[in-house]
Structure 1
Amino acid sequence: MGLRCMSQPLVTNIGEAWRVASLSIDRLDARLLVQHVAGCTHVDLLARPNQALSTDQLARLGALVKRRSDGEPLAYLVNLAEFYSLEFHVTPAVLIPRPETELLVELAIERLQSLKAPRIVDLGTGCGILAVTLKYRHPAAIVSAVDLSPAALEVARINAARHAVEVSFLEGDWYVPLGGARFDLIVANPPYIEYADPHLQQNGLPFEPLMALSDGVDGGDGLACIRAIVIDAARHLLPDGWLLIEHGYNQAARVRDLLWSAGFSNVASWPDLSKVERVSGGCLD
């Protein structure tokens, strides 16, 4: 549709751009796209709606509105997402942060309170939300983060720099680049959606990296990555160390069984704000 309706005059300012864009997409999304392109704030939109837009800005906005109307997530269009009250740079190379993952951060912080300089590793870090947030909230922590994707690690490095935190980023498959290193806490939000799950074709997920959503095992149960993390965790945890893993809405019981079988104690699952058991974990004595 662009930013010119057949019955409307040519758009020239941010107020009119917002109104016209809202005819094609959600009004809030339209506002955020106008602010992104114009470099203005919500207050500017309300107080100075006649602020002019250049031809190039209008073209960019029109393209972004079209992409949003086609289902592309807003976070990829503005390259920004909020997580745990922090802003993170995101690109299509990484998953968009979800609010339910904040539960994993809260559980991790609880287990770090009594430790002066805990060693933490974030497996499958993506854009780095877990590693960066935990280091930001616990500056004395020694934090490492692993991902198989070089593009994801580049995004994570940008976010570490954005929040002025020091994180050691390592490229590789789960524990492989860690050697014999051991940690007080392992956190992970691995791929856990079943490969053929129809949800992968809904709600913007086709735009997100499949390797970060599903383990890719055709006919599997979505737990292949979680199994790999749980099975090898004992070799990388210090005494009384914890493993915390985010998983799917219907996987808690199976993840708890994996943890018990691997020798963990204090095994439990915790619900997110929607009352869904979203994180499971245990302690290695």
Structure 2
Amino acid sequence: MSTAADLLRTAGLPLLEARILLMHVLGWRRTELITRDRESLDPDAVARFEALAKRRLNGEPIAQLTGRREFFGLEFDVTPDVLIPRPETELLVELALESIADVANPRVLDLGTGTGAIAISIAHARPDARVWAVDRSTAALDVARGNAHALLDATRTGGPVAFVESDWAANIDPSLLFETIVSNPPYIASDDPHLAQGDLRFEPRGALTDDADGLSAIRTIIGTAPFLLTTNGALWLEHGYDQAESVRELLKARGFTNVRSMRDLAGIERCSGGLFTA
């Protein structure tokens, strides 16, 4: 009979990844991997772990294998229909929360919501915020709705997150005005070799690349955002490691002020934004 120690030793994976998969299969906490590591395991559990380990060795992302990913202190369901939330995107949430810090009952729009991680994290941190989350993918919106149901208090004062199927802001009620708009759009250029490497191979292509120069979605969002922002409303965008200067120029050309880029924990200019005052 195999034990947890046996499986961790023979999985052929980095130890952290093997632990995550084994905890997922067994329903154990990390401490139990230490205190119960010599227990004989059920053969079905061993088979399930070995199947997941094989899939991971073939490159499938951990988050898709477990169906879960932590983001901004919350656990989100993840499927192959959505982009896996990443730690660097937490900066976008922080910037959005900073931009509405002094606003009562703020209205926030998240364009390209995917799992709903950004919109739901904002709604969770600000129970009074009224949040709209947009995606053109019906499957992604199904995932996001499920996450909102699981993670948000049904009695929050801002009400439930409004999910809208739309190509960017096309289907947003034009009478709505938002204090803050945020987006983590597809910004990888179509010829970027990273699209054929690592986890990206298993994520929805449309959430990663615009199949152009990596800036077309950003241009669309910057072009339409002023029609949806309140006076001095903020727009914040996540972008690629080498796109900050280009995004700042696009924002300035559209009339945004106080344009700046913010660095993530790796020191990369990861998000750019500004205020629209016209």
TM over 0.5: yes
CA distance in 1: counterparts of 2:49 and 2:268, whole angstroms: 38
Structure 1: runs of 5+ lacking an equivalent: 1-10
CA distance in 1: counterparts of 2:36 and 2:46, whole angstroms: 17
CA distance in 1: counterparts of 2:140 and 2:39, whole angstroms: 37
Q: Which amino acid aligns with 1:216?
A: D
Shift of 1:12: 2.9
Does residue 255 (structure 1) correspond to residue 255 (structure 2)? The answer is no
Shift of 1:150: 1.0
Shift of 1:52: 3.8
Shift of 1:237: 0.7
Does residue 184 (structure 1) correspond to residue 179 (structure 2)? The answer is yes
Show the counterpart of 1:175: 169
CA distance in 2: counterparts of 1:51 and 1:32, whole angstroms: 18
Structure 2: runs of 5+ lacking an equivalent: 154-159
SS, match of residue 270 in structure 1: strand
Contact 1:80–1:87 (Cα < 8 Å) also in 2: yes
Q: Deviations over 1:27-59 (max 9, x none)?
A: 111111111111111111111224443332222
Does residue 31 (structure 1) correspond to residue 23 (structure 2)? The answer is no
Please, which moves more after superposition, 202-211 or 140-149? 202-211
SS, match of residue 283 in structure 1: strand
CA distance in 2: counterparts of 1:107 and 1:94, whole angstroms: 23
Does residue 130 (structure 1) correspond to residue 122 (structure 2)? The answer is no
CA distance in 1: counterparts of 2:24 and 2:10, whole angstroms: 16
Structure 2 residue aligned with 1:62, among 50, 69, 85?
50
CA distance in 1: counterparts of 2:40 and 2:129, whole angstroms: 47
Contact 2:123–2:152 (Cα < 8 Å) also in 1: no
CA distance in 2: counterparts of 1:186 and 1:161, whole angstroms: 22
CA distance in 2: counterparts of 1:164 and 1:186, whole angstroms: 20
CA distance in 2: counterparts of 1:204 and 1:232, whole angstroms: 32
Does residue 237 (structure 1) correspond to residue 237 (structure 2)? The answer is no
SS, match of residue 248 in structure 2: helix
Contact 1:14–1:38 (Cα < 8 Å) also in 2: no
CA distance in 2: counterparts of 1:163 and 1:204, whole angstroms: 26
Q: Deviations over 1:93-114 (max 9, x none)?
A: 1111111111111111111110
Does residue 209 (structure 1) correspond to residue 204 (structure 2)? The answer is yes
Q: Deviations over 1:79-134 (max 9, x none)?
A: 11111122111111111111111111111111111001000010000101110000
CA distance in 1: counterparts of 2:214 and 2:268, whole angstroms: 17
Question: Percent identity over the alignment?
Answer: 48
SS, match of residue 232 in structure 2: strand
Please, which moves more after superposition, 86-95 or 47-56? 47-56
Change in 2 beyond 3 A, CA 1:51/1:177: farther
Q: Which amino acid aligns with 1:175?
A: A
Q: Which amino acid aligns with 1:117?
A: N
How many residue pairs align between the two structures? 270
Shift of 1:196: 1.0
CA distance in 2: counterparts of 1:51 and 1:163, whole angstroms: 34
1:1-285 equivalences under 5 Å are: 11-21=1-11, 24-165=12-153, 166-180=160-174, 181-217=176-212, 221-285=213-277
User: CA-atom RMSD, angstroms?
Assistant: 1.2
SS, match of residue 114 in structure 2: coil
SS, match of residue 140 in structure 1: coil
Give the TM-score of the pair, scaled to structure 2: 0.94
Please, which moves more after superposition, 79-88 or 53-62? 53-62
Q: Which runs of 4+ in 1 moved over 4 A?
A: none
Shift of 1:236: 0.7
